[in-house]
């Protein structure tokens, strides 16, 4: 993730995957400015609602602005209709915002995911407003390394317990090989029980069990 406004950067690693009992979304924490590590505690995973999350790669300012925008729209939707926005509707809304900003584009690559009455969903969204659903996705400069782990380990009917371990493995692989990714993990499970972040203590416990250093 970059703080440089004059360039489109996707120096980061984010991922999402649909499991049988929930959705896993995960990012690391590093923000770069060229070759400089500008920040080590950058937020790239945003709670849009109790059942919807957003991961961001690209310019920090654009990502933060979009997260606020989509969160407000989701809240307005809930107030007007007395029911939460579906994940598909949130992805369509986000795609419309992106495609409607051609002259002043948002330099971002997003994953929007969550759990609703139809189950789990992950959508990959590009800066032009393209929206593609999938079972698992990764974004950013570290995504090739994350995809290597995801494609080797993902399977249908995966549990969220298994998914958390895969997310840790995928982010670790990215952080070891991609200089723009690093400085820790941010992981959340979104299910019918709502938004549940995975604590640092739990992540460290799982890393030890997986023999990850």
Active-site positions? 12
How far apart are alpha carbons 18 and 213 in whole angstroms?
26
**Cα separations (Å) of 141 from 119, 135, 150, 174, 184?**
29, 20, 15, 9, 16
In degrees and rounded to multiples of 5, residue 94 shows phi and psi of: -65, -40
Check residue 199 and give left, alpha or beta (phi > 0: left; psi -120 to 50: alpha).
beta
In degrees and rounded to multiples of 5, residue 41 shows phi and psi of: -130, 45
Ranges of beta strands (E only) in 83-166 are 108-116, 119-125, 131-134, 136-139
Both tokens of 210, joined, read 């997986």
How far apart are alpha carbons 94 and 131 in whole angstroms?
9
How far apart are alpha carbons 148 and 87 in whole angstroms?
26
CB 23 within 8 A of CB 191: yes
Helix (H, G, I), strand (E, B) or coil at 135: coil
């Amino acid at each position: 993730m970059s703080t440089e406004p004059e360039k489109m950067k996707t120096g980061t690693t984010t991922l999402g995957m649909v499991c049988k009992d929930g959705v896993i979304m995960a990012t690391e924490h590093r923000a770069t400015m060229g070759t400089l590590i500008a920040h080590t505690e950058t937020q790239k995973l945003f709670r849009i609602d109790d059942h919807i999350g957003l991961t961001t790669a690209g310019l920090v300012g654009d990502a933060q602005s979009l997260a606020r925008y989509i969160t407000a729209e989701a809240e307005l939707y809930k107030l007007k209709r007395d029911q939460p926005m579906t994940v598909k509707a949130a992805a369509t809304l986000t795609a419309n915002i992106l495609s409607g900003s051609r002259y002043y584009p948002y330099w971002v690559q997003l994953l929007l995911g969550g759990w609703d009455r139809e189950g789990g969903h992950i959508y990959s969204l590009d800066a032009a407003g393209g929206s593609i659903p999938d079972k698992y996705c990764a974004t950013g400069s570290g995504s090739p390394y994350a995809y290597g782990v995801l494609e080797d380990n993902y399977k249908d009917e995966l549990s969220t317990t298994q998914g958390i371990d895969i997310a840790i493995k995928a982010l670790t692989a990215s952080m070891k090989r991609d200089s723009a990714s690093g400085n820790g993990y941010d992981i959340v499970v979104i299910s019918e029980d709502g938004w549940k972040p995975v604590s640092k203590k739990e992540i460290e416990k799982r890393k030890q069990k997986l023999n990850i250093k």
